Structure 1
Amino acid sequence: MRREPVRPDPDQVLLARARRVIALQTAAAITVSLLVLGVLALAVVIRSQDSAAATLLRNTAATAEDVADPPPDVWIFVADPAGGITATADAPAGLPDRGALDRVRAGGASETTGIDGREGGYLALTRRRDGRVVQVVMSRHEQHEERERLLGALAAGELVGLLIALLSAALLARRATAPLVDALARQRQFVADASHELRTPLTQLHTRAQLLQLDLRSGAAGADITADVDRLVTGTRHLGEVVEDLLLSSQLGHRDDAREPVDLGAVAADVVAGQADRARAQEVELALLPDAGGPSVVPGHEAALRRVLTALVDNALSHTPAGGHVSVGLGTDHTMVTVVVRDDGTGFDPADTERLFARFARGGHGDNRRFGLGLALAREVVTGHGGSIEAWGRPGQGAAFTIRLPAAGR
């Protein structure tokens, strides 16, 4: 069987390309900076060597009494008016620079000349002194070797710097693209969530709208139309809740870190009041239990915490039959605020406890209970507030969801 080649993820290809470009540009900038510094250092050394050599030649030519005992690697040559030359012993072959001697003896100005020779060559200063022409020659071999050592050190430093630059640039590129990785992941997750969650309610809305259209065209009785309209309104409410969940999911990682005091008791009361009509329509008793402790204030984002409680109450009402009970109770101690949403509805298999908080999870024991994004987002919000959420349930015995959040000022 022939296998189709695996195509690379376009996002990963884009990220890899961005990382390479950032790494190469950063490494190139660091390398060029090191190269410029090396060139500047070499130029300073050469300038210093030239200045030291010129000073040594001038001082020797001005103060030497004879050709004996010159400084190391320096030779003195003296030409008398008759053209005879006295030289320092063991002067290298090819010295002195007779052309410079002849020009200065003939009345020319003092001059500094370079002479070819061993590595680095020689530097000669020829000047007139006391009716004679003095030429001082120094070897530049040591200076040449010093420059060679400096160049070797700069080359090694440049190579090491390049390796360090590449490693550093790769690390910086990875860190620089980390927000992009997170953004792309959130974008893909949001698109997947939206396509998954919106498909069913949109299809239901479209179907109910078509049925309502058919009823209107056929002149159906008012009661039938009213029932269709009620179902249509219920569908739009469900769709709005799905959109709220999707928006909350996309914003969780981008919320301001600033937290404000949130009174969970007041939030719970608002949520219960907002769900009261639905509970009465389903013939379910919905109650807010008296707070068993002190003030239930936590630091956090009120809108996000309100959505958590709304999702839990909505989940309880969705799985509690007529005649059932749903309660929201709060408790506090010195460090934590507790909220418990309890129902005596269909419950769930304890084996499904962790799976309930997965996106688009479904329950077991044959009821095909579906939890969508609500419980998954509830856990994300609660853990993002430094708290925890736990679920308890038994088939046919109801369920309870317990939220624990750090109290304000703790």
Structure 2
Amino acid sequence: MTTRRSPDPGRRLLIRTRRRITAQVAAVFSLAIALLGTLVYWVVVDDQDTTARRDLAVAAQSASISQPPPCVWLFELRETTVRRSPGAPRSLPVRETLDRVAADGRTRVDVVEAGGHTYLIRTERREGVPVQAVRDLYFPIAERRRLLRTLCGAELAALLAALLIGQILARRAIAPLGEALHRQRRFAADVGHELRTPLTRLHVRAQLAARRLRREPDPLLVAGDVDQLVTGIGQLGEVIEDLLLSAQLRQRRRSFGPADLAALAEESARAEEARAEQRGVTIGLRRGPGDHVVRGAQPALRRVISALLDNALRHTSPGGHIWLTVCSGPETVQLSVRDDGVGLDPRDGERLLARHAGTPHTGGLGIGLALVSEVLDAHGGTIDVDGRPGAGATFTIRLPRAAPDDRGARSPPPGGSPPRAGPVRVAPSSAPIRNDQRCDRSELPIGDQ
């Protein structure tokens, strides 16, 4: 027997909120329709009653007994004899009312049921003679009933429509709340997953350093442990920066501006210069002609390039190479990061972009590449992954070019960033790329490396 899992408290809160909003919207709509229907009904009833009383007064005062208006009959009391209109019902007139008017002369208006019908009766004196005008209310009452049925049907339809509209409005109203709850949980999960290992390492290193200081208080002997602590703290800061960027990515859309992808690539390569030199890895950078300006958040795009470079450095052996190539097409700017490291299976490309993913060749990747995918998605860009086990990997990102009016950030002029000694080699912007609209792996310039 399988047990059904109950929703978690956050999910139950969203469900209750959605139902409450739906009920409130339905109640407001239904109440509004009910009030409108009631108003319409009473306006119609009042208009019918006013018209009937006015027509009956005119008939009682001036109509001929032998030719009364439609649906109206006249009765006249002369001494003890009652004259009646042709076709008048046998249950009429109301003789008691005629006698009272004959006695006191007061005009009386009554609603009387007789013979299974409802009549509006006006009794008054006309030229000293008691006259009774009678109007059959069958048709007005039938019209009211039809109107009432129509209004009830409209109320039911309005209730169903209100429930549907309330459901739609409720879903839209709680969508930001659901998204915030989802992002909060994802952030908490990322924090728990990403910070556990770095904090454990820092704790162990701090314990080792403390023990060495107690045994051998010479600071030079614990310099290596301190260096490892500094490195670990720096890595922990990078993880926290990635987590915060992932959590705030949607809010940064408003701060999008022109960003030179080539300049960001060179900046990121320079930032990794020390680590590349330590690992014995050479980083090469080649820019195609023209500008490479996109519209986006420079910190986020810088983290994209840094994450791709970090991934390449971690999977490239000493003596290996990493090549960055930036080029522009009519509508997009493309940046490729290629290495000759451990490589990957192209079939794992999509899975590598998931959070906390890894492969037998790459190991765990945390949220780094997943963050790349999120940033590119927020910028309307794409990423392609290619490679072979043992033959390196290529990560290619494409971003929409900025409009001409937005290209406030320009690429450095040709020769503005000359090559210099060290693990990062920058080729001049004028160095040829055989196809400046594509940076296929087969066309990446490696001769300068």
The answer to whether the superposition gives a TM-score over 0.5 is: yes
Which residue pairs with 2:29 in the alignment? 30
Distance 1:104 1:398, change over 3 A: same
Which residue pairs with 1:259 in the alignment? 256
- Find the partner of 2:383 among 382, 389, 393: 389
Letter in 1 for 2:215: S
| Gap runs ≥5 in structure 1 | none
Which residue pairs with 2:227 in the alignment? 230
- Paired residues of 1:352 and 1:364 also in contact (CA < 8 A): no
Question: Which fold has the larger relative contact order, with Cα–Cα distance below 8 Å and residues 6 or more apart in sequence?
Answer: 2
TM-score for both structures, normalised by structure 2:
0.84
Which residue pairs with 1:184 in the alignment? 181
- In the alignment, the residues of structure 1 paired with residue 331 and residue 220 of structure 2 have an alpha-carbon distance, to the nearest angstrom, of 54
Per-residue CA deviations over 1:179-216 (Å, capped at 9, x if unaligned) read: 22222222221111111111100111111111111122
Per-residue CA deviations over 1:272-317 (Å, capped at 9, x if unaligned) read: 222222223333333433x122111011111111110111111122
- In the alignment, the residues of structure 2 paired with residue 6 and residue 406 of structure 1 have an alpha-carbon distance, to the nearest angstrom, of 45
Residue 284 in 1 paired to residue 281 in 2? yes
Which residue pairs with 1:305 in the alignment? 301
- 1:14 deviates by 2.1
- Find the partner of 2:211 among 208, 211, 214: 214
Which residue pairs with 1:16 in the alignment? 15
TM-score for both structures, normalised by structure 1:
0.92
Instruction: Give the secondary structure class of the aligned counterpart of 2:253.
Output: coil
Per-residue CA deviations over 1:108-135 (Å, capped at 9, x if unaligned) read: 3222122222556111112222121211
Which residue pairs with 1:201 in the alignment? 198
- Find the partner of 2:335 among 334, 339, 344: 339
The residue correspondences of 1:346-385 to structure 2 (distance < 5 A) are 346-365=342-361, 369-385=363-379
- Paired residues of 2:337 and 2:396 also in contact (CA < 8 A): yes
Distance 1:223 1:393, change over 3 A: farther
- 1:96 deviates by 1.9
Distance 1:385 1:42, change over 3 A: same
Distance 1:189 1:399, change over 3 A: same
- Paired residues of 1:294 and 1:333 also in contact (CA < 8 A): no
- 1:256 deviates by 2.8
Which residue pairs with 2:400 in the alignment? 406
Letter in 2 for 1:390: D
- In the alignment, the residues of structure 1 paired with residue 136 and residue 83 of structure 2 have an alpha-carbon distance, to the nearest angstrom, of 19
- 1:258 deviates by 5.9
Letter in 2 for 1:398: G
Which residue pairs with 2:290 in the alignment? 294
Greater Cα shift, 69-78 or 248-257: 248-257
Instruction: Give the secondary structure class of the aligned counterpart of 1:121.
Output: strand
Which residue pairs with 1:77 in the alignment? 75
How many residues of Structure 1 are paired with residues of Structure 2 in the alignment?
404
Distance 1:105 1:188, change over 3 A: same
- In the alignment, the residues of structure 2 paired with residue 245 and residue 105 of structure 1 have an alpha-carbon distance, to the nearest angstrom, of 101
Which residue pairs with 2:426 in the alignment? none
Distance 1:194 1:77, change over 3 A: same
- In the alignment, the residues of structure 2 paired with residue 242 and residue 75 of structure 1 have an alpha-carbon distance, to the nearest angstrom, of 96
- Paired residues of 2:386 and 2:395 also in contact (CA < 8 A): yes
- Paired residues of 1:120 and 1:143 also in contact (CA < 8 A): no
Which residue pairs with 2:326 in the alignment? 330
Letter in 2 for 1:352: D
- Paired residues of 2:111 and 2:119 also in contact (CA < 8 A): yes
Which residue pairs with 2:437 in the alignment? none
Letter in 2 for 1:89: P
| Gap runs ≥5 in structure 2 | 405-449
Letter in 1 for 2:353: F
Letter in 2 for 1:103: R
Distance 1:69 1:298, change over 3 A: same
Residue 138 in 1 paired to residue 132 in 2? no
- Paired residues of 2:91 and 2:115 also in contact (CA < 8 A): no
Instruction: Give the secondary structure class of the aligned counterpart of 2:308.
Output: helix
- Paired residues of 1:120 and 1:144 also in contact (CA < 8 A): no
- In the alignment, the residues of structure 2 paired with residue 16 and residue 71 of structure 1 have an alpha-carbon distance, to the nearest angstrom, of 64
- In the alignment, the residues of structure 2 paired with residue 379 and residue 308 of structure 1 have an alpha-carbon distance, to the nearest angstrom, of 9
Letter in 2 for 1:353: G
Letter in 1 for 2:70: P
- In the alignment, the residues of structure 1 paired with residue 151 and residue 2 of structure 2 have an alpha-carbon distance, to the nearest angstrom, of 53
- In the alignment, the residues of structure 2 paired with residue 78 and residue 332 of structure 1 have an alpha-carbon distance, to the nearest angstrom, of 104
- Paired residues of 1:293 and 1:333 also in contact (CA < 8 A): no
- In the alignment, the residues of structure 2 paired with residue 374 and residue 226 of structure 1 have an alpha-carbon distance, to the nearest angstrom, of 30
Instruction: Give the secondary structure class of the aligned counterpart of 1:116.
Output: strand
Which residue pairs with 2:447 in the alignment? none
Which residue pairs with 1:100 in the alignment? 97
Percent of pairs identical after alignment? 46
Instruction: Give the secondary structure class of the aligned counterpart of 1:395.
Output: coil
Distance 1:208 1:266, change over 3 A: same
Distance 1:349 1:138, change over 3 A: closer
- In the alignment, the residues of structure 2 paired with residue 128 and residue 91 of structure 1 have an alpha-carbon distance, to the nearest angstrom, of 20
- 1:3 deviates by 6.4
- In the alignment, the residues of structure 2 paired with residue 276 and residue 120 of structure 1 have an alpha-carbon distance, to the nearest angstrom, of 103
